Amino acid sequence: MIRTVLVANRGEIARRVFRTCRDLGIATVAVHSDADADAPFVRDADRAVRLPGSSPAETYLRADLVLAAARDAGADAIHPGYGFLSENADFARAVIDAGLTWIGPSPESIEAMGSKIRAKELMADAGVPILSVDPQSATPADFPLLVKASAGGGGRGMRVVDDPADLEGELTAAAAEAASAFGDDTVFVEPYLPTARHVEVQVLADTHGTTWVVGDRDCSIQRRHQKVVEEAPAPNLAPPVRELLHDAARKAAEAVDYVGAGTVEFLVADGHEDTGRVHFLEMNTRLQVEHPVTEAVTGLDLVALQIAVAEGERLEAEPPASTGHAVEVRLYAEDPASDWTPQTGTVATFDVDGSRFEGPSGAGLRVDSGVEAGSVVGVHYDAMLAKVIALGRDRRSALRTLEGALRRARVTGVRTNIDLLRAILVDEEFVAERVHTALLAERLAAWTGPAIDEPTLQRHVLAAALASARTATAGAAVLARIPTAYRNVPSQPRTRAFRHGEQELSVTYAARGASLVSDALDSVHVVDATARRVVLDVCGVRETYVVDVRDDAVDVTGPAGTTTLEPVPTFVDPADVVAEGSLLAPMPASVVSVAVEQGQEVSAGQTVLVLEAMKMQHTITAPTDGVVGELAVAEGTQVESGAVLAVIESTTVDGANEGNP
């Protein structure tokens, strides 16, 4: 009987496992890096053990330190979560050899499926259809191709190659990223089917010969081959295709004598037709990130079942039937409109209502989060902040519940993908169940467009201006007794400017007696304004805005959602001005490689250097033809967001100035 579980992981999955352990009366142990010392998951655990350092290689990937922590804290079992050491057969074997209970499949099963190359061979022998291409003999007709890391997942070490001339370089780049993320640079190649669907099947098996197929999930909405939206059951699948998927998943699990929870992933072409084709991708020998949607429609606690199986308990003959529909979105700290650049900083507000599916209809909302207000999002780990899951009687009701929750959510302090998620959930193609792995790329421009219309945005700006003014006067002993916007010459209104993305917007307002009114917005009147709350009357309809004024930003939440605005200073500090042509770091990161030298001529789009942050690599390219006038970093340099990396001096000369010194 397991009494104390150490979770060899961090963030939301550690909190998720701790939650079930508390329900079962099992004591918990967290391990944490220095960067995570104050993280919520550490406080959730009964005991916590420090792993010195901050990078994954120094901490969560150190099997010896994790085992020592288990020994020191008195744990008798280890749950690996997902990522890090969760699919490391040597770690699983070391846990067992140390006399601890491993809450996962056998090391032999992990090894069999851990190499995606070997897994494909096993599946072919078991009669499961596969995809494969030999890169040495690939012909132009085989393209596009997908390069993948054999030991990894989550989009790391993965590249789409359209041009045969690029294959060698992309193989090298994918291998480097795979080595950094997983410690194994082995990669392989398969056909890239951009309009196929990514469908996976949840399996669970005990040590007594029972294997469950616990339904399926669609994970086709992806960015950089990382899932963004998942749902269960997979919509718009013909019954024969669903049956084929479930049969293939069972064969895959039984082929490696699988025990515990796992997921078998497939590409599905023409899944809405009876003749749809199914191709094995890989098996994840662990709990999947998107497991909550399966829990929602089945009522199962997959973590509790993992623990039960590890303790030797028998499963029932068949799993419970699924009811309803569940949809999950991954809330990331990133900027979708800027090449998915990860964001860092302190979470100022984290307010997403979650009720664990309680209600008369059985529908509701669940939030699995690794952060809270005050949490710091750094550069060392994945950019996911939370998973938000909605359960409905059917797919449309689940989508509506989820979009409404995101619209009311207040997550501020770091830029997130929340507007993108809302756009996906109401998109006509997505709502109509016409999903495939290229849909996000096809619809990205629409999904990253303005989240609110211009008049609504102007009202957000007005609310930001009024609350900022109230905040400023509240901090001044004399001004606090004077109505905001008081002037000796009352005819002169006050103007404040804010930046929203690339837009700069200004609003003008003035005092009329003891109240504030806007001179810039027609039919908008200020009912009330405080430092935290602004009420506007818009053509007879009242709208309430909650405002958080911070040093460098103002967050405004209204009926249409949340907007983050950056105050535009009246005067610019000369020290903040950078040279024209400067390439700035889009986020805190480390410099992986530098591809140019000072004085070298470069062409627009040419790689200047490569950064790595949150386990993903980001290529910085020359914005124009020119010469590298300054190179401010070298390989291995750590840079902060906004730091100058290099300066590209344009070689384009204005004809009017030719010949001038």
What pLDDT, in 10s, does the model give residues 258-286? Answer: 999 999 999 999 999 999 889 998 999 99
Q: Are strands 554-558 and 541-549 parallel, antiparallel or unpaired?
A: antiparallel
Angle, alpha carbons 246-247-251 (nearest 5°): 115
Task: State how far the Cα of 135 lies from the Cα of 141, in Å rounded to an integer.
Answer: 12
**Residue 574 in this model has a pLDDT that exceeds 80:** no
Q: What is the pLDDT of residue 362?
A: 66
CB atoms within 10 A of CB 541: 9
Average pLDDT over residues 85-104: 97
**Residue 593 in this model has a pLDDT that exceeds 70:** yes
> Is residue 73 within 8 Å of 6, Cβ to Cβ?
yes
- Structural domains of the chain ordered from first start: 4-103 (3.40.50.20), 108-128+196-226+233-321 (3.30.470.20), 132-191 (3.30.1490.20), 324-449 (3.30.470.20), 454-567 (3.30.700), 574-657 (2.40.50.100)
Q: Percent of the chain scored above 70 by pLDDT?
A: 90
User: What is the DSSP code string of 200-215?
Assistant: EEEEEE-TTS-EEEEE
Task: State how far the Cα of 18 lies from the Cα of 23, in Å rounded to an integer.
Answer: 9
Q: What is the dihedral of CA 90, 92, 96, 97, to 10 degrees?
A: 10
pLDDT band at 658; cut points 50, 70, 90: very low
The DSSP letter of residue 313 is P
Q: What is the pLDDT of residue 266?
A: 95
Helical H runs in 475-565? none
| pLDDT digit string, tens, across residues 308-317 | 999 999 999 9
Task: State how far the Cα of 455 lies from the Cα of 437, in Å rounded to an integer.
Answer: 35
Q: Which of 248, 232, 237 has the alpha carbon at shortest distance from 273? A: 237
SS3 651: coil
Average pLDDT over residues 443-471: 91
Q: Specify the length of the chain in residues.
A: 661
Strand partners, 591: 611
Task: State how far the Cα of 570 lies from the Cα of 201, in Å rounded to an integer.
Answer: 57
pLDDT band at 127; cut points 50, 70, 90: confident
pLDDT band at 360; cut points 50, 70, 90: low
Contacts of 80 (CB under 8 A, 6+ apart): 7, 8, 9, 86, 91, 92, 103, 104, 286
Q: Are strands 47-50 and 27-32 parallel, antiparallel or unpaired?
A: parallel
Q: Where are the beta strands (DSSP E) in 294-382?
A: 325-332, 334-335, 341-342, 345-346, 349-351, 364-369, 376-377
**Residue 484 in this model has a pLDDT that exceeds 80:** no
> Is residue 518 within 8 Å of 505, Cβ to Cβ?
no
Q: Which of 57-66, 230-239, 440-449, 481-490 has the lowest mean pLDDT?
A: 481-490
Average pLDDT over residues 329-336: 95
> Is residue 377 within 8 Å of 343, Cβ to Cβ?
yes
Average pLDDT over residues 540-546: 95
SS3 9: coil
Say which residue, 475 or 386, is predicted with more confidence.
386
pLDDT band at 513; cut points 50, 70, 90: very low
Strand partners, 510: 517
Sign of the CA dihedral running 596, 599, 605, 608: positive
Contacts of 83 (CB under 8 A, 6+ apart): 9, 13, 154, 382
**Residue 304 in this model has a pLDDT that exceeds 60:** yes
> Is residue 402 within 8 Å of 425, Cβ to Cβ?
yes
> Is residue 7 within 8 Å of 79, Cβ to Cβ?
yes
Q: Residue 428, exposed/middle/buried by CB under 10 A (0-12, 13-18, 19+)?
A: exposed
- Say how far residue 624 (Cα) sits from the centre of its chain: 31
pLDDT band at 656; cut points 50, 70, 90: very low
Q: Where are the beta strands (DSSP E) in 407-478?
A: 410-412
Whether the link from the prior residue into 144 is cis, omega within 30° of 0, is yes
Q: Where are the beta strands (DSSP E) in 338-432?
A: 341-342, 345-346, 349-351, 364-369, 376-377, 384-392, 410-412
Q: Which of 246, 283, 281, 248 has the alpha carbon at shortest distance from 264? A: 283
Q: What's the N-to-C CA distance of the chain in angstroms?
A: 83
Average pLDDT over residues 102-106: 98
Say which residue, 537 or 579, is predicted with more confidence.
537
Task: State how far the Cα of 143 lies from the Cα of 33, in Å rounded to an integer.
Answer: 43
Q: Which of 40, 614, 41, 46 has the alpha carbon at shortest distance from 372? A: 40
SS3 640: coil
SS3 581: coil
- Assigned token pair, 443: 């619809």
**Residue 512 in this model has a pLDDT that exceeds 90:** no
| pLDDT digit string, tens, across residues 367-397 | 999 999 999 998 889 899 999 999 999 999 9
Sign of the CA dihedral running 618, 619, 622, 627: positive
**Residue 580 in this model has a pLDDT that exceeds 50:** yes
Query: What is the pLDDT of the chain when averaged over all its residues?
Result: 88
The DSSP letter of residue 380 is S
CB atoms within 10 A of CB 231: 29
Strand partners, 345: 377
Q: Which of 311, 319, 264 has the alpha carbon at shortest distance from 286? A: 264
